[in-house]
Amino acid sequence: MRIVIDGMGGDNAPEEIVKGAADASKLIDHEICIVGRASQIEAELEKNGYAGNNIKVVNADDVITMEDSPVKAIRRKTDSSMVVGLTMVKEGKGDVFISGGNTGALVVGARMILGRIEGIDRPVLASIYPCLGGKPSLLVDAGASSEAKAHNLLEYGLMGSIYMEKVWGREKPKVGLVNLGVEESKGTSVTKDAYKKLHAAPLNFVGNVEARDIPVGVCEVIVCDGFVGNVILKLSEGLAWNILKLVKNQFMVNTRTKLAGLMVKPQLSSLKDEFDYAEYGGAPVLGVSGPVIKIHGSSNSVAVKNAIIKSIPYSQEKVVDIIKKSMLDLEEIIEKDEEE
């Protein structure tokens, strides 16, 4: 297979992208294709002492920036690394596209260039959510759309479940709906309706979940609208980071605590890794007709390398095809929703 990566997307592009690709190329047999300003990318490859033959460079002169308006940028910047990369997947010249660029543009571009999967009302960004002392979950929607209807939440649950099964090897992933309480009767009219639909779908739906149980992995697919998803991701990040900082400060109080800090240093470092998003291989865009992965704009080469590795099962396990097929089974449930 051929993995296409946006050489110009993100704060550390092209340096960290190229380094990550070079590191990944030593671990995998597949071809990696870096799209972007060829001269810059080739210079970086040289800097990294790359001498292999499974990295190719495809030139694209333009770059979509963080300030660009998504729809306009996709329409007008036809020679940007993002548009060129997505088009390669569309035309079968690539099997998956990875980018650390403008999130809105990537989701819009994936929808406009690759197209939605038939039956999917709204493609969505899903993010790996690191659980404390356990395996990570997937959060859908990670912030692509701030509002959602009941049938959107059903789609999120279905696509997330397939992704976790095929890419993360989870058997019958537990799907949970974020709500005010675990009882079926809780929440808004949208969550009540979504509960019924998720319950009726061929999923391992564990019902409503409360936010307090999310960090310990009460479910493997966390379903919510993008506003709530954004709050969950950012609050977890802010809180975890600041608590660890506070813990660290407690070791700086006096000589005795400083000594204690030295004694427990390896253990505390392993704790920090729990929250390291770079370890998880990026966020899939689900619901479009091709595998697309968003990585953090601030991704370092480790995050790039991990995303490249995780992109292989996303493409090879035919996640997109399985979502397409599963949507046929769901048609009836979704139609019921629209009649109501």
CA 308 to chain centre: 12
Q: Measured from the CB atom, is 28 or 271 closer to a copy of itself?
A: 271
Q: Judge whether 294 and 7 are in contact, CB under 8 Å.
A: no
Q: Which of 244, 302, 309, 322 binds a copy of itself (CB under 8 A)?
A: 244
How far from 7 is each of 14, 37, 63, 284, CA to CA, in Å? 5, 8, 10, 18
Cβ neighbors of 299 (< 8 A, separation 6 or more) are 10, 12, 16, 17, 20, 100, 278, 282, 307
Of 146-165, binders to a copy of itself (CB under 8 A) are 146-147
Contact with a copy of itself (CB under 8 A): which of 171, 270, 332, 339? 270
Residues 85-144 that bind a copy of itself (CB under 8 A): 132-133, 143
* Nearest residue (CB) to a copy of itself, 8 versus 214: 214
If the CB atoms of residues 169 and 181 are measured against a copy of itself, the closer one turns out to be: 181
The one segment of 52-60, 104-112, 206-214, 300-308 that binds a copy of itself by CB under 8 A: 206-214
The residue from 25, 137, 208, 230 that contacts a copy of itself (CB under 8 A) is: 230
236 binds a copy of itself (CB under 8 A): yes
Residue with tokens 């601030």: 298
CA dist list (Å): 128 to 176, 181, 240, 326? 15, 23, 15, 22
3-state SS assignment for residue 25: helix
What is residue 183's DSSP assignment?
S
Beta bridge partners of 127: 139
Which of residues 1, 52, 72, 259 is near a copy of itself by CB under 8 A? 259
Residues 6+ apart with CB under 8 A from 198: 153, 154, 157, 175, 177, 205, 223
Q: Which helix (H) or strand (E) holds 56?
A: strand 55-59
Task: CB nearer to a copy of itself: give 78 or 242.
Answer: 242
Of 34 and 198, the one with the shorter C-beta distance to a copy of itself is 198
Position among 247, 273, 298, 328 found at the interface with a copy of itself (CB under 8 A): 247
Under the binding rule (CB under 8 A), the answer on residue 66 touching a copy of itself is no
Asked if 298 is part of the footprint of a copy of itself (rule: CB under 8 A), the reply reads no
Q: Please, where are the H alpha helices in the chain? A: 15-25, 38-47, 70-76, 81-90, 103-109, 150-167, 189-200, 226-250, 255-263, 265-273, 301-316, 319-339
Binding of a copy of itself by 242 (CB under 8 A): yes
# of chain residues touching a copy of itself (CB under 8 A): 51
By the rule CB under 8 A, 267 interacts with a copy of itself: yes
For residue 111, the 8-state DSSP code is I
Q: C-beta of 37: minimal distance to a copy of itself in Å?
A: 29
Q: Which is nearer to a copy of itself, 21 or 228 (CB)?
A: 228
**What are the residues binding a copy of itself (CB under 8 A)?**
132-133, 143, 146-147, 178, 180, 187-188, 210-216, 226-228, 230-240, 242-244, 246-247, 249-251, 253, 256-257, 259-261, 263-264, 267-268, 270-271, 274
